[in-house]
């Protein structure tokens, strides 16, 4: 089955990198190690080879170099580092000016976490893969969560030229949910799977309502996940125009929804 076409699945890359940005560059590789990994030295090649450097495990590696023989293929990649960590690595958490009002040069540091994107547009439901829809801004593909790698943030093209686009808010949320399911076995996707197992056990006790009762549990856990996301975004929302009173009220409404659902689901389970 082909991936869905979603005309609003992507947005132009924002000023600063964020979770869900799609990077493209000749320097991006789905890199990994095998048992042939070796430290490598480098030398200038013979003039007949042109300019550049030659790398080999046969060359003695200098103490200050960190070249390693690895495997990998060129790929597009989606950024998986969360926005809070990104702000720290980009120096955006530090003051923009010093005590004298002079601008402070922001220092980029750390490594960004990426997942490779394969060109396949076949829909997938496995924890370790996430389908990207076809769109005018991006041709689609599959985020391979089982194939992650890191890149030195200081050497990455962080401009809009280095980033093709970013995932829409809804698509980024879906990717975060799938990434959590794969990396931590937590979140709505995992809850739904676990509740299908719960339904089987409930069905052994009462065959009439077991599926609905298990779905009620899954819905509560999904609502709790949404409430956690509301709390995580609280600071950003208040800083970007939403009043603190409004944000608090919306969070309270989310929690009340969770509480009502939890009470109802608990009553369903108590009936067994």
DSSP annotation of 210: H
Query: Could you give phi then psi for residue 229, rounded to 5 degrees?
Result: -65, -35
The predicted-structure confidence for 160-176, as pLDDT tens digits, reads as follows 888 999 999 999 999 99
Q: At 96, is the pLDDT very low, low, confident or very high (cuts 50, 70, 90)?
A: low
Summarize pLDDT for 213-227 with one digit per residue, the tens: 999 999 999 999 989
Q: Would you place residue 231 in the very low, low, confident or very high pLDDT band (cuts 50, 70, 90)?
A: confident
177 compared with 99, residue with greater pLDDT: 177
Cβ(126)–Cβ(118) below 8 Å? no
- The overall average pLDDT reported for the chain is 89
Strand partners, 72: 31
Over pLDDT 70: what percentage of the chain?
95
pTM: 0.84
How many other C-beta atoms can be found within 10 angstroms of the C-beta atom of residue 1?
Answer: 8
Is the pLDDT reported for residue 207 higher than 90?
A: no
pLDDT of residue 149: 96
Work out the pLDDT band at 94, boundaries 50, 70, 90. low
Average pLDDT over residues 241-249: 89
pLDDT score of 58: 86
């Amino acid at each position: 089955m082909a991936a869905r076409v979603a005309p609003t699945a992507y947005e132009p890359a924002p000023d600063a990198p964020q979770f869900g940005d799609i990077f493209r560059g000749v320097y991006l590789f789905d890199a990994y190690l095998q048992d042939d990994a070796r430290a490598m030295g480098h030398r200038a090649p013979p003039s007949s080879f042109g300019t550049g450097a030659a790398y080999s495990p046969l060359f003695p590696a200098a103490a200050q170099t960190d070249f390693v023989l690895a495997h990998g293929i060129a790929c597009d990649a989606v950024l998986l580092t969360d926005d809070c960590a990104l702000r720290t690595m980009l120096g955006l958490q530090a003051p923009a000016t010093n005590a004298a009002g002079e601008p402070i040069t922001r220092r980029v540091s750390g490594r960004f976490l990426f997942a490779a994107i394969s060109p396949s547009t076949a829909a997938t439901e496995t924890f370790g893969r996430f389908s990207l829809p076809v769109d005018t801004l991006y041709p689609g593909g599959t985020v391979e969560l089982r194939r992650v790698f890191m890149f030195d943030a200081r050497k990455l093209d962080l401009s809009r030229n280095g980033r093709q686009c970013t995932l829409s808010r809804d698509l980024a949320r879906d990717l975060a949910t799938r990434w959590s399911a794969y990396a931590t076995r937590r979140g709505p996707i995992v809850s739904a799977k676990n509740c299908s197992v719960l339904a089987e056990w409930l069905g052994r006790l009462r065959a009439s309502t077991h599926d609905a009762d298990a779905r009620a549990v899954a819905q509560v856990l999904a609502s709790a996940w949404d409430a956690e996301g509301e709390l995580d975004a609280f600071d950003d929302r208040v800083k970007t125009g939403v009043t603190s009173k409004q944000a608090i009220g919306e969070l309270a409404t989310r929690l009340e929804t969770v509480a009502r659902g939890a009470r109802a689901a608990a009553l369903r389970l108590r009936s067994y």
